[in-house]
Amino acid sequence: MTIQNSRHLDETDVAHGVTLSAETILGLDNVALELPIAGIGSRVLAGFIDYLILLLLSILLTAAAIFILAYLHPGPFVSFAIIFAGLFLLDYGYFAGSEIISGGRTLGKAALGLHVATRSGGKPGASALLVRNLVRAIDIIIALPLMAFDPLSRRLGDQLAGTLVLHRATKQAIPTLRRMPTGWGARHIAVLESFLFRFGELEPSRADALAYQLISLIERDDPAFLEGIKTGTDPIGALLKATRPRNG
């Protein structure tokens, strides 16, 4: 999906309690801008922690199964099938069960400050968490390229379940804009404030892309607002500089 202007959309900015209508930036793929999307790096690290834990549990399960089956003598085929089924249930149960019990977190996600949420930032239901983990075996192979090219860093399970992985909300002060583009009302200002509050939680390429879109709208509505400020190489810095008082 591409970054888009909300010219034909009507959404709610949860962070500021205002309605964002025509010609207001919403963010990526109709997902509210204030959601702190977790990038591929933090998700891979959380997954590494989870699979390390799962590996230890799998070793214990396999050892226990071999010990028990040695006494039952069910045959090599049945023994293999039992162990394989047990490992699958352990893998699925660890991820799906952890997320259902903890409200969208596994041990790895908790360690990195991540959690699963709906597209609006709410708590996902058990059915969504079951669906997003059902294709995890496939995602082991294709998750990295999918997350790398998806603007919301979604793997296949997220796309099927309609979920996102978010960073834990930070407790920073929302920046005060000392200068504002001429003609911008409360809704546009709220989006600009939200972006300057959250850009540090976005992947750098995503943050820059959103900053360029904001700059494009400012240049359309108030070209003089960015006069004398270079926007080509550091769009976020340009926005921060433009919203501060000018000397003289």
Does the pLDDT at position 126 exceed 70?
yes
What's the pLDDT score for residue 176? 60
Segment 27-67, tens digit of pLDDT: 555 555 556 788 888 899 999 999 999 999 889 888 887 88
Per-chain mean pLDDT for the chain: 77
Give mean pLDDT, residues 83-90. Answer: 81
Q: In the prediction, which pLDDT does 195 show?
A: 81
Select the more confidently predicted residue: 52 or 75.
Answer: 52
Per DSSP, the three-state class of 45 is helix
Query: Across 60-197, where does the E strand assignment appear?
Result: 114-118, 163-167
Instruction: Quote the pLDDT of residue 201.
Output: 66
pLDDT confidence of residue 132:
93
Query: Helix, strand, or coil here: 66?
Result: helix
pLDDT at residue number 77: 76
* Predicted local confidence at residue 129, as pLDDT: 93
Residue 18 has pLDDT above 60, yes or no: no
- Output the CA–CA distances (angstroms, integers) from residue 100 to 25, 116, 157, 194, 236, in the order listed: 33, 10, 15, 30, 37
CA distances from 237 to 46, 154, 211, 233, 242 (A): 30, 28, 9, 9, 8
